[in-house]
Amino acid sequence: MEGSVNGSGESLGTVVLGVTGSIAAHRAVDLTSLLVKAGCVVRVVMTADAQRFVTDLPFKTLSRGPVITDLYDEEEGWKPSHIRVADEADLMVIAPATANTMARLAHGMAEDALGCVALALNPGVPLLVAPAMNGKMWMHPATQSNVAILVSRGAEILGPDRGMLSCGYEGVGRLLPVDQIAERVLEVLRARRHGNS
C-alpha cells in the first residue's frame, strides 16, 4: 500500500507537497521523510524549475508513490493526475515557495501542474506556503502584496527564516527549518481531524 500510516494503522491524512525552483528544494526531501514517518500519505508535485535542483527519485522513494512533474503526466484512471491529487488532498504545503510561485498562486495562474492542483483543491483544504528567496525579493512590495492576497484567501505563510542566504546575503528569506514546517502541517491535520480547523 502506498503512503504511510500511524501506529494505529490509520493515515493522518493526505498531504500534497509542492516543490518549486529554489536552492532549498533539496530540503523538501527531508520534509517528505518527516511527514511519511509521522503517518501522512504524501503526494509530491514538482515544478520544472524544482527539477533543476533535485530529481524526483528521492521523493518517489520516500513517499512510496508517483511524483507529478508535468501537467501532462500519465494519468491513472480517467481523471487527470493533478485533479486526482487535488481531490485526495487534506492539506497542501508548498515548500520551498519561490517569489514566482507565490505570484502565480496569488493571481490564479494554472500553467503548470502545481498551479492547477492549488486551484483545484476542495473548499476548506488548508494551503501552507513556506517561502524561500533572496531577502530583497521577499521584502519587495510586489511579493508582500502577493503574500497579503494569499493570506486574505486563507493561506498560511510559514516563515521565512533569517540567516545566511544562498545568494551570499545575510537576512530574511531562508526556508523555515523543515522540522518546524512538518510540525505545523501535523498540527493543522490533527485540528481538522478533531473539527477545530
Active-site residues: which are they?
A: 167
8 Å CB contact between 92 and 57? no
Strand order in the sheet with 40-46: 67-68, 40-46, 13-19, 91-97, 127-131, 156-157
Cell readout for 158 is: 510559514
- Within a 10 A sphere around the Cβ of 189, how many other Cβ atoms? 23
d(CA 130, CA 154): 14
d(CA 16, CA 76): 17
How deeply is 2 buried, as exposed, middle or buried, from its count of CB atoms within 10 A (0-12, 13-18, 19+)? exposed
